[in-house]
Structure 1
């Protein structure tokens, strides 16, 4: 039985006839044609220029050309306050800035339960994790793990699934799962009046000291996860739990505008070049276009576009129906009958009959695409330049690809043909057993994660007030995050541990300048 709307959208794909796909990333075919974008094809001359400008650096004594503008003309001035991630693209036109502000209002809106006199804001839940987008994406930055048992930590949640199911036709190696029969795909720790929350996440940390080559000792905290106060019976005995902290929001439209062909060209699933790095693309089902597409967003690259990622968050995190996920009950499973019988916020004839109508979803998508990336700071500092050389010497750039050039686009001038420096290949990499959540997602295994962009990482604490990193916030600073790397990144991690203290400090200074 299909348990809820989000599962339905993906499992229906198994009955669709998709374009035949090869498992060779270079020949995935027309279904990976960037149909979400209005593309102006590159000329041969442009392709040659792009190859030259994105080549690896050879001179680390000075910054590269345009390095100070990580988002190209869309770069914004770096602010030393909590608004650093909340500015619109630096090249946004005046008449489009109003759409950005309207999207910002929707992003910050606090939703209420139905029925309500505030018809434009009702429909929350019945089960939910947050009342608004910015409750999780703190000032458009990262969420955080709970600091103690009384910390609500609404910016972190648990994904749930059990083995089984059938993957969409045409997607090789799709690792299908099913929602938990009682709780669905996500644990909701909040509920509207008259409903019971599903439960609460419990985290236990174990501190483990790690001694570096110079004798310095760093303590890593290893989390274990459980669920308490279950409101709807037991979890499935084979349930898989995956903790997720909300990622930062900047530069999403630029990542969406990188040609799929450029990302696929970086994939090396069989490590043919022998460098120990074997990035793989996640190919996922597009709810909007009903075809397989390249996954780009989410911690395992489980969403193909900013619009689908936004729609899924409205449905899964807040229980709000929208054009892509129209079930007003959100994450309520068929077993949660009281939840499914609760009043919806859909008014016939208003807002497309949805709690989040098409225009609102488009505005939030526009806002999310156009959150500006701050300019680099101190990139010509000798210590930062030394750290950049260390970053490349350790092989970090093999996954955290520094540079890309976006498509030329007819209708997205802010993202069109920009040289950007996100430091990601948007591919999946095996990060070792230490970081494994053991929960697959589409083609991603339980040990694989998408390479996170590094731009803005040095301003994270300024924006959010914390310096937690990795998918579940276990790392309390950048050095801890580096030392958690394993799998394909084990050699680079060991290189970090072997660095003399000045080089280690230089590497951190470089990362903080991004």
Structure 2
């Protein structure tokens, strides 16, 4: 991490469970447990530093690719924060990945989908790798084009949204299947993941209401996914569709599909059987990241500091918080869980799937998540996006250019909430945004 950024982050965040009674920054990881401090630092080094092509003298971190989209975790999770789509036509899809699949219609595809959540595209798999090591072309180049959607609030102020259309050009391994399902996903922010993983399953399921029995228009559905380490189905908690059960599996999946680094959970390279040149190239060992180093990276991610709220005594923030609850945002962005009641920070998520309507649908199911269902993303730290990452792009593919646009994209179960925001006057909208930016 760049030293200036590290200093900036240290002034903005505290480690989970390690704030003192005043909520000020604490260095308890270093002071209370030197071994954990060392593990955190080693994990951070393997998170931040680039991997290299095998074979190399740097045997601890060789094995990049052969197909990949980034050479380090930090390349996508800049500042351990939120990714963004290309902001210009010349910018690559670096912190945005593209997932691919086809409908699971055959018995073989259905069997794969039971463990993977989807049936991979036959040649390109379930992740698009845009880069390849020397002599091996990347799989293809994704591109967004945008269509403007305009409207106005009830007070007459105009708004406009950008609807993205995703295409993939320069395909180097043949045409995509005619029924391919594509979905672009920006890298999610990492703070607080350890706390989210610590929430008992029963507390998450307590908020589920599949049949909307309370008739509030909000269902809330858990995703049930395959846990490789446990070899069983469990509750999904992470990723945009809650398709990952743990930080461990999410991290190992990213190592394999984003960097081309194998692990004991994912021992095979991300090369399909049709990519014979990819399969024939040298690797960095079997596996390329040993279990102990993978676990240290997971420890580093799990202990990413949780954002400290700002301006909590501001009357406009208090008004915005009241409006947040009045219009129904908290029905999905649940402030906290019983097990986190003593934490000074609130995640504002129920970790459940919700139907967000046709406007946000990617039409690509994953496990129990339909093509229009998304996990409620946590809101803690959302107001620091511009400071940490230098942009204000939100939602799963970064289409929203600010928080107000993100709200206006809500539909489905949150349609009534969106309509309530459209009916707000400008001071009310500003108060709501002021509250969100305090998180």
**1:405 CA displacement:** 3.5
1:116 deviates by 1.2
CA RMSD of aligned residues (A): 2.4
Q: Report what 1:194 is aligned to.
A: 135
**Could you give the per-residue CA deviations for residues 243-277 of structure 1, whole angstroms, max 9, x where no partner exists?**
00000000000000001000001000110000000
Match of 1:426 among 332, 337, 351: 351
Instruction: Answer yes or no: is the 8 Å Cα contact 2:212–2:219 preserved in 1.
Output: yes
Pairwise mapping of residues 257-336 of structure 1 onto structure 2 (< 5 A)?
257-327=198-268, 329=269, 331-336=270-275
Number of positions where the alignment pairs a residue of Structure 1 with one of Structure 2? 422
Name the CA shift for 1:88/1:222 in 2 (closer, same or farther; >3 Å): farther
Q: Could you tell me how far 1:375 is from its partner in structure 2?
A: 1.2
2:89 to 124, 144, 149: 149
1:382 to 315, 322, 327: 315
Higher relative contact order (CA 8 A, sep 6+): 1
1:508 correspondence with 2:413: no
SS at match of 1:136: coil
C-alpha distance after superposition, 1:295-349 (max 9, x if no partner): 000000010010110010001111111111011x2x2100100101111111xxx
Cα gap change, 1:191 to 1:175, in 2 (>3 Å) = closer
CA contact (8 A) 2:393 2:399 kept: yes
**Residue 137 (structure 1) aligned to one of 60, 77, 80:** 77
Residue 89 of structure 1, CA deviation: 7.8
Is 1:93 equivalent to 2:32 in the alignment?
yes
Q: Find the counterpart in structure 2 of residue 479 from structure 1.
A: 404
Aligned to 1:456: 381
SS in 1 for 2:75: helix
Matched residue of 1:445: which SS? coil
**The 10-residue stretch of structure 1 (69-78 or 335-344) with the greater mean CA deviation from structure 2:** 69-78
Aligned runs of 1:401-440 on 2, under 5 Å?
Answer: 401-406=334-339, 418=343, 420-440=345-365
Residues 89, 306 of structure 1: alpha-carbon distance in 2 compared, 3 angstrom cutoff: farther
Query: 2-side partners of 1:115 and 1:354: how far apart?
Result: 14
Q: CA deviation at 1:167?
A: 5.5
Distance 1:147 1:434, change over 3 A: same
User: What is the DSSP-based 3-state SS (H/G/I as helix, E as strand, rest coil) of the residue aligned with 1:103?
Assistant: helix
Matched, 1:185 2:185: no
User: Residue 164 of structure 2: SS of its match in structure 1?
Assistant: strand
Partner of 1:228: 169
In structure 2, distance between residues paired with 1:423 and 1:92: 30
Number of the residue aligned with 2:330:
397
In structure 1, the partner of 2:52 is 112
Question: 1:341 is matched with which residue?
Answer: 280
Do the aligned partners of residues 318 and 211 (structure 1) sit closer, same or farther apart at CA in structure 2, a change above 3 Å counting? same
* TM-score where L is the length of structure 1: 0.78
Cα offset, 1:94, TM superposition = 3.9
Structure 2: segments with no counterpart, 5+ residues: 1-11
Unpaired runs of 5+ residues, structure 1, are: 1-67, 347-352, 408-415
Change (3 A) 1:78 1:212: farther
For residue 418 of structure 1, report the CA deviation from its aligned partner: 4.4
Q: Secondary structure at the match of 2:148?
A: strand
Please report how far the alpha carbon of residue 120 of structure 1 lies from its aligned counterpart in structure 2 after TM superposition: 1.1
Tell me the CA shift for residue 213 of structure 1: 0.8
Structure 1 residues 271 and 334, CA, compared in 2 at 3 Å: closer, same or farther? same
Counterpart-to-counterpart distance in 2, 1:277 and 1:283: 19
> How much does 1:225 deviate?
0.6
